[in-house]
Amino acid sequence: MQGKHILLGVSGGIAAYKTPELIRLLIKQGAEVRTTVTRNALQFVTETTLQTLSGAPVYSDVFAAINEHATEHISLPEWADLMIVAPATANVLAKCAAGIADDALTTTLCSCMAHKPILIAPAMNDKMWENPAIERAVETLRGFPNVRLIEPEEGLLACGTSGKGRMPEPDVLCEHVLAALTPKTMQGRRVLITAGPTVEPIDPVRFVSNYSSGKMGFALARECLRRGAEVTLVCGPTALHIEGYDRQLTYRPVQTAQQMLAAASEAFPESDLTILCAAVADYRPASVAQEKLKKQPGIDTMTLRLVENPDIAATLGRKKQAGQTLVGFALETENEEQNALGKMARKNLDFIVLNSLRDEGAGFGTDTNRVRIYSSDGAKKDCPLARKEAVARQILDGLTT
């Protein structure tokens, strides 16, 4: 979002208390933010707060006595790369759908409607959301090619009842902005991603696994979504959640390597691009005890017999058809390049992404990674240490698929 101009419209609902945080997140991502508000919005959030956080005057009054920004409703849309209205009350939704422009926010929105990408995040009581007039307004707005409605969420509402009408949290809104600004270079492509660890049970309370958190795979899945792809994410046990923008993923949670193979094999035939980021256990316990294994008095060693797991990458590599691209990962601790290239050849991969545990900040669990991408035609690309989101972008840019 570096250098992008985001115009934030705030209308008078209780969810307006969340918009200062949205400004902070957008600015943290490198965007410049300007705000326009309805008079009622200022009952919920102050002009001082919005001005301080955005670092710019708030456009709130078309007819202010001394108004150096007399034509802000025209110049702000020209300045903006995208406008987001959060929260959008029932009143603003209905006006916007009808083309009514009677205050700073709605005049600005009106002049944006035909020219700029617009995100609208409705927030209201569930009874108001169910009003047929509002439903009609929503339908009308869905018909505008450059308008995208961010569906309100179900949950506890300000009036104390529960229902649909909550504005999504600022981080989710921020993700929608990021996605809306991302060129849709993967539109129409189907992507399969494996992520996280596999967990191979020993008995009902113990297992064999590894330190993968799923962060790298999630970052790849999100970036593919932002670029317009249809994404299936097959993921081992992880602390990460599918919420907000990620709900657009087809999510297949699994535990074991055998389950991961089954889920990946199902999605693979339809997939144009498959990225195998999961850290799959190479071996699993030969048998799973039905009851918790007990400590044996007087016996101070224990042998666990392991059997080989299926190799998902190699299995898919054998089934790969022309037009399908298969990408593996390799996490190495020594002879990194040689080991990675060996895996690419043995598993019939088109690319392999190498991360080394010898690089600080790379690999398991971290928020950052440092990778090198090798292609089967001999090319290689270095991606310096960066957050996994940025590494995901570089990986996808590096796959000439």
Region near ligand PMT per CB under 6 A, out of 77-85, 137-145, 175-183, 279-287:
279-287
Could you say which of 110, 112, 159, 235 is catalytic?
Answer: 159
Task: List, as one string, the DSSP characters of 49-95.
Answer: HHHHHHTS-EE--TT-SS-TTTTHHHHHHHH-SEEEEEEE-HHHHHH
> 159 catalytic, yes or no?
yes
- Give me 21's structure tokens: 């945080």
Please tell me whether residue 330 binds ligand PMT under the rule CB under 6 A.
yes
Kindly state the smallest distance separating residue 326's Cβ from ligand PMT, in Å: 9
Please tell me whether residue 216 binds ligand PMT under the rule CB under 6 A.
yes
- Give me 9's structure tokens: 């419209």
Kindly state the smallest distance separating residue 218's Cβ from ligand PMT, in Å: 8
Kindly state the smallest distance separating residue 360's Cβ from ligand PMT, in Å: 14
Please tell me whether residue 278 binds ligand PMT under the rule CB under 6 A.
yes
Please tell me whether the peptide bond between 87 and the residue prior to it is cis, using omega within 30 degrees of 0: yes
Question: How many CB atoms are closer than 10 A to CB 346?
Answer: 13
Calpha distance 333→210 (Å, rounded): 14
Kindly state the smallest distance separating residue 350's Cβ from ligand PMT, in Å: 12
Calpha distance 351→381 (Å, rounded): 11
Please tell me whether residue 313 binds ligand PMT under the rule CB under 6 A.
yes
Enumerate residues 127-186 that contact ligand PMT by CB under 6 A.
none
Q: Which of 355, 370, 392, 398 binds ligand PMT (CB under 6 A)?
A: 355
Q: Which of 180, 193, 234, 280 binds ligand PMT (CB under 6 A)?
A: 280
Kindly state the smallest distance separating residue 388's Cβ from ligand PMT, in Å: 6
Toward ligand PMT, which CB reaches closer, 59 or 329?
Answer: 329
Please tell me whether residue 279 binds ligand PMT under the rule CB under 6 A.
yes
Please tell me whether residue 273 binds ligand PMT under the rule CB under 6 A.
no
Q: Whose CB is nearest to ligand PMT?
A: 312
3-class DSSP state for residue 31?
coil
CB 33 within 8 A of CB 4: no
Calpha distance 336→362 (Å, rounded): 13
Please tell me whether residue 36 binds ligand PMT under the rule CB under 6 A.
no
Q: Which of 59, 329, 351, 374 binds ligand PMT (CB under 6 A)?
A: 329
Residues that bind ligand PMT (rule: CB under 6 A) add up to a total of: 28
Kindly state the smallest distance separating residue 173's Cβ from ligand PMT, in Å: 25
The angle subtended at Cα 135 by Cα 115 and Cα 96, nearest 5°, is 30
DSSP letter at 152 equals: P
Question: How many CB atoms are closer than 10 A to CB 145?
Answer: 7
Kindly state the smallest distance separating residue 308's Cβ from ligand PMT, in Å: 8
Q: Which of 213, 232, 325, 356 binds ligand PMT (CB under 6 A)?
A: 213
Please tell me whether residue 396 binds ligand PMT under the rule CB under 6 A.
no
CB 327 within 8 A of CB 351: yes
Candidates 136, 123, 146, 147; CA nearest to 16 is 123
Please tell me whether residue 268 binds ligand PMT under the rule CB under 6 A.
no
Please tell me whether residue 276 binds ligand PMT under the rule CB under 6 A.
yes
Please tell me whether residue 214 binds ligand PMT under the rule CB under 6 A.
yes
Enumerate residues 245-264 that contact ligand PMT by CB under 6 A.
257
Task: List, as one string, the DSSP characters of 224-277.
Answer: HHHTT-EEEEEE-S-S----GGGGGSEEEE--SHHHHHHHHHHHGGG-SEEEE-
Calpha distance 193→276 (Å, rounded): 6
Candidates 170, 194, 343; CA nearest to 266 is 194
Residue ranges in contact with ligand PMT by CB under 6 A: 194, 196, 212-217, 257, 276-280, 282, 309, 311-313, 328-331, 343, 355, 363-365
Q: Which residues are catalytic?
A: 159
